Amino acid sequence: MENIIDIRNLNFEFSKHKPVLKNIDLSVPKGSIFGFLGANGAGKSTTMKLLIGSIPDDSNTVKIFGQNLSGLYPEGFNKIGSLIDSAAFYDHLSGWDNLLVISRLRNLPESECERVLHLVDLWESRNMKMKRYSLGMKQRLAIAMTLLGKPELLILDEPVNGLDPNGMMEIRELLIKLNREEGVTIFISSHLLQEIEKMITHLAIISHGKIKFTGSIKDLNELYRYNHIKISMNNAAHFIQEIPEHYASRLIDENALEITVESKEDIAGLVKQLVMNNAEIFEIKSSGGLEDWFMEITKN
């Protein structure tokens, strides 16, 4: 699969002996929605600023579209839309006029403003002054700005931060639509794991400046599929003593146990043993998810 972003052995520090990024390797497949996940201060924003050139990549370790950033600039950056930190608006102008300012600076036709407003579902609100826009509308307009010129790659830093659940859903649906219908590759950072899990196809987890995991969601599922299971049964407290000591187990409530296992064979053996001891099991399912896996991967 062709990679649209390639980073190899990226190291960075703002001051000597205080590294922010340590031997970062990342490959972002073309056509993916790639989640760059980590706690605040893990190194996400610094990496993204290096990607868009606002922090110089002096070691030439970053490639986008197969080129070092020094060779990509300036024409190649027309294929990239980015939103790092908060977008700046002219509050006394309408959404349309804010877009018009940027399109004229970039020598783009007015039809581009119309196109992106339709994409983000703000066409009917185009003449409203920015000071009347909700936070979710402002975020959609900010994404519209990144879409001017039909970029092939979007780089978005915490685009749903501060939004209410409805606003998060709107942005999520928009990004999935752009990816599927427009073919845009999206590199998106977030610490809101439950939200980001609903849209990404690939991911990297960064902690204290180091990549702890990178791959597809399928890779992550294969790695952690059998890590934690929840067994629901009648009188669970009575049967916890039947679980062998080498499995970590805990009582969730009177009708459920959580058990750490290593394989599907472990699951089959545990269920057989419980049933032989007359356990009345009515549900078995994985209790893992991106949030659980994130904690497992970064705990050390």
For 273, the domain range is: 225-298
212 and 68 part of one domain: yes
pLDDT at 209 over 90: yes
Taking only the tens place, the pLDDT of each residue in 216-268 is 888 877 766 556 778 888 988 888 877 877 777 778 888 888 887 777 788 88
pLDDT at 288 over 70: no
What is the predicted pLDDT for the residue at 224? 64
27 and 119 part of one domain: yes
182 and 254 part of one domain: no
195 and 255 part of one domain: no
What is the predicted pLDDT for the residue at 217? 82
What is the predicted pLDDT for the residue at 287? 60
CATH of the domain at 71: 3.40.50.300
What is the predicted pLDDT for the residue at 11? 92
171 and 240 part of one domain: no
42 and 93 part of one domain: yes
Comparing CA positions, the residue from 291, 285, 282 lying closest to residue 267 is: 285
pLDDT band at 165 (very low <50, low <70, confident <90, very high): confident
58 and 11 part of one domain: yes
What is the predicted pLDDT for the residue at 48? 92
What does the pLDDT average to over 186-199?
87
Which of the listed residues 216, 242, 257 is the one where a domain comes to its end? 216
Which of the listed residues 216, 242, 259 is the one where a domain comes to its end? 216
Which of the listed residues 166, 193, 216 is the one where a domain comes to its end? 216
Most confident stretch, 77-91, 173-187, 208-222: 173-187
pLDDT band at 300 (very low <50, low <70, confident <90, very high): low
Give the residue with greater pLDDT, 217 vs 149.
149
